[in-house]
Structure 1
Amino acid sequence: MLIRPRDPGFVHPQASDITPRAVYEGRRAWLRRMAGGAAGAALAGWAGREALAQPAPPVKRAALSGTPSAVAGAMTMEKPTGYQDAAGYNNFYEFGIGKDDPARHAHTLKTRPWTVEVEGLVGKPGRFAIEDLLTLAPMEERIYRLRCVEGWSMVIPWVGYSLSALIKRVEPLGSARYVEFVTLADPRQMPGLRSRVLDWPYVEALRLDEAQHPLTLLAFGMYGEVLPHQNGAPVRLVVPWKYGFKSAKSIVKIRFAEKQPGTAWNKAAANEYGFYSNVNPGVDHPRWSQATERRIGEDGLFAKKRKTLLFNGYEAQVGQLYAGMDLQKNY
C-alpha cells in the first residue's frame, strides 16, 4: 500500500515509527496477490513516482510497491533482518566511519532533484532524472543476503529492478567491458568527506557481464518502502554475491569503459580489497578470516557464527561468470 505523509515536514523515524513485522509481512502478501494483474502493475508505477518524491529533510517511511521476483535465486527463505538493524547499522563513510554514523548524519542528504548521468562507451548517453529511472522497468522485491567484508551479514528485502534494464536502454558499444559507478561527494551534505580515509568521490565498478547479470539490482527501496538516506537513497547498486562495499550508494554517474577502472577501496588498500571482491570463505582478509560471519540481529555478539558461503550463497547463479579464473588471485 502507499503511505502518504500528512505533511512534508516529517523527520526521519524513531524506533517507535517502524512498521511492525506483522504489518510489513501482511503488506507483502497483499502485493503478491496484486502482482498478477493490471491493477498491480499500475499501482507499482504510480506508487514508485509518488512515494519516492521525498523532500529534504527526509520524510517518514513511505511505501513502495514491489512484486515477488521472477529471477531465479533472487529470493531466500531466510528470515529478513529487522528494519531497525538494517537502517541503523551500516557503512556509508561519507557520513562517518561509525556503524551508527550514517543513521545519525544522513538526514542532511538531499535527494531531490537527483539525476544519474550515463556516459562513456554507449550509443545513447544521457542524464536520467530519478523520476525517469523509477519508471524504466517494473519494480520487484528481492530478498538478498548482504555480506560485509568485516564479517557481518544481513538479509534484506530490496525493491528495484535488474540493472540490465538500464544497460539495455543506453546500448553499450562493443568495446565496453566495464561499468563504473560514481557516487555523490558533496561536503555540504556529507560530513564524512572531511576524512582522508578514501579518495573521494567513492567509485566502484563491475565487469560488463557482471553488471548485466539478472541478480545485479538497481535498488530504490527496501522492506517495501523508500530507501532510507543512510542506506543509499535515492538509488544504489546491490550485487548480492560480492562484499557489500561493491554495492555503490547514492549513485550520480555510470560510465562504460574499455579498461578496468580504479575503485575506491582497491586504490586505498589493494592488498586487502581486490577488484572482484566476490564473497569467498577461502580467501582471508589480511587482518581476519572470512570463513564465518555474524548475522546482525541474532542474539548479539556472542551468537554462534555462520559459515560463509561461496559467492554468498549465489554460486549456482553466478559461478559461471568466473569459470577458469583463479579466485585466490582474482579476489
Structure 2
Amino acid sequence: MLIKRSTPHHPTERDVTPEAVYQDRRLILKGLGLGTASLAFPAQASLLDLFSDEKAAPAPATKEIHYKAAARPEGVTLTPLEKATTHNNFYELGTDKGEPARNAHYLKPEPWALKVEGEVAKPFTLDVWDLINKTELEERIYRLRCVEAWSMVLPWSGIALADLIRRAEPTSRAKFVAFETLYDPEQLPGQASSNLGGGIDYPYVEGLRMDEAMHPLSFLAMGLYGKTLPAQNGAPIRLVVPWKYGFKSIKSIVSIRLVEEMPPTTWNLLAPNEYGFYANVNPQVDHPRWSQASERFIGEGGIFGAKRQPTLLFNGYGDEVASLYQGMDLRKWY
C-alpha cells in the first residue's frame, strides 16, 4: 500500500467551483421542472424526499465488523467519516453530492447476493452478509480521487478482488472482468429518473482488464471506519481501485462476470470523449471541460475549505501499477 502526500501550491484560476458541481446543479434544476424532461419517480420518492434536507426515513444502520486494522501511515490525514458519508457520487441516489446521504434510506442492503460467473470453471453466488459476519476483513487505507478534482483518504475494510476471482477458477478465455450494480428503481430512485440519475442508462456497469483486477491493490470494500458501508458509499459491497478515478469504483455490486471481450462501461458509453475505459489518474490528460492537474483534498474543512494540491500520476500508486501499462500511450488509452 502506498500513500503519498502532495505539496500544496498557491491558488490559481482552477480554484473555483468545479465544472461537475455546476453541472450537477443544472441537473437538479431540471429535476425540479425547470428543464424539458419529466420525472418518473417510484411512488414513495417525492420531491420533498429527494431534494430537501429532511429524511423521509432513517438510513440503514451500519454495523460493527471484524477486521484487521491497518497501521496509520505517518503524516497521512484521513478524511473524517462525516465528510466521507455526506459528499458522495452515487447517481442512483441523486446527482448532487449531498443527495445520496439524504436518499440512503431507500437502499436496503441486507440480504445481498453477489454472482460470480462467466468464463470460469466454478461460478458461484456469494452471500455478502455471510462473508461480512464470518470473515475477519482486511483494512486498507486508500486515497480515492474523483474525476471532478477532489480526493479523500479513507480506511476501507474488505477483501482482495483477486481472492474472489481465484475462487471461481477463471478459464484461459477470461481477459476482462465486468461489474454490474443493483437495478431496482424502488431502492435506487435515480434509476427511475433521467434527471435525478444523470441521464445514465442503468444498471451501472464497469470493467477492468484481468491483470488490473488481479493486482493486489484492487479491493472489494464492505466496510468503512470499522463499520459496514453506509448506503451512500455503496453498501454492502463496492469496488475500490485506488490508482483510477473514482467512477471506476462501482457501488452496490450484484454481478462480477469474467469475459473475453472488453466490456461496456457506463461513463464511457455516456461520454466516450470524456471518460475512457482505463480511467487511470493522469494529471497530464485533462478532462475536456476542466483541468486534472490539481485537486482538493477533503479533510476537516470540506471541499471548499480544502487546499489545492498537485494531482499525482496513478494517484500516487505508480510504483505499484505503472508496469501494467508499459508501452501504452496513456494519452490515447485514458
Report if TM-score (shorter chain) is over 0.5.
Answer: yes
**In 2, Cα distance between the equivalents of 1:239 and 1:69?**
18
Change (3 A) 1:309 1:298: farther
Write the deviation string for residues 190-224 of structure 1: whole angstroms up to 9, x where unpaired.
11112331110000000011011111111100111
Alignment-mate amino acid for residue 257 of structure 1: V
Q: Which runs of structure 2 are paired with 1:103-252 in the superposition (5 Å)? A: 103-134=101-132, 138-196=136-194, 197-252=199-254
2:326 corresponds to 1:323 = yes
Change (3 A) 1:209 1:75: farther
Q: Secondary structure at the match of 1:153?
A: strand
Q: Give the aligned partner of residue 67 of structure 2.
A: 66
Change (3 A) 1:68 1:112: closer
Is the contact made by 1:238 and 1:247 (CA closer than 8 Å) also made in structure 2? yes
Q: Give the aligned partner of residue 259 of structure 2.
A: 257
Change (3 A) 1:101 1:68: same
What is the CA distance between 1:161 and its match in structure 2? 1.3
Q: Secondary structure at the match of 1:144?
A: strand
**In 2, Cα distance between the equivalents of 1:69 and 1:98?**
32
TM-score scaled by length of structure 2:
0.78
**In 1, Cα distance between the equivalents of 2:60 and 2:90?**
20
Is the contact made by 1:116 and 1:252 (CA closer than 8 Å) also made in structure 2? yes
Higher helix share: 1
Q: Secondary structure at the match of 1:249?
A: coil
Change (3 A) 1:119 1:283: same
- Structure 1 unaligned segments of length 5 or more: list them: 1-55
What is the CA distance between 1:76 and its match in structure 2? 7.2
Q: Higher relative contact order by CA 8 Å / sep ≥ 6: 1 or 2?
A: 2
What is the CA distance between 1:59 and its match in structure 2? 4.6
Write the deviation string for residues 53-88 of structure 1: whole angstroms up to 9, x where unpaired.
xxx965544222221459xxx967411101000001
What is the CA distance between 1:132 and its match in structure 2? 3.9
2:309 corresponds to 1:311 = no
Is the contact made by 1:184 and 1:251 (CA closer than 8 Å) also made in structure 2? yes
Q: Secondary structure at the match of 1:206?
A: strand
**In 1, Cα distance between the equivalents of 2:257 and 2:193?**
26
What is the CA distance between 1:137 and its match in structure 2? 6.1
Q: Secondary structure at the match of 1:284?
A: coil
Q: Give the aligned partner of residue 50 of structure 2.
A: none
Change (3 A) 1:191 1:269: same
Write the deviation string for residues 271-314 of structure 1: whole angstroms up to 9, x where unpaired.
00000000000100000000000111354525430100000000
Is the contact made by 1:182 and 1:204 (CA closer than 8 Å) also made in structure 2? yes
- C-alpha RMSD over aligned residues: 1.9
Is the contact made by 2:60 and 2:108 (CA closer than 8 Å) also made in structure 1? no
Alignment-mate amino acid for residue 242 of structure 1: K
Q: Once structures 1 and 2 are overlaid, which stretch shifts more, 123-132 or 139-148? A: 123-132
Change (3 A) 1:134 1:76: farther
Alignment-mate amino acid for residue 106 of structure 1: A
**In 2, Cα distance between the equivalents of 1:135 and 1:205?**
28
Is the contact made by 2:111 and 2:129 (CA closer than 8 Å) also made in structure 1? no
What is the CA distance between 1:134 and its match in structure 2? 3.0
Change (3 A) 1:219 1:303: closer
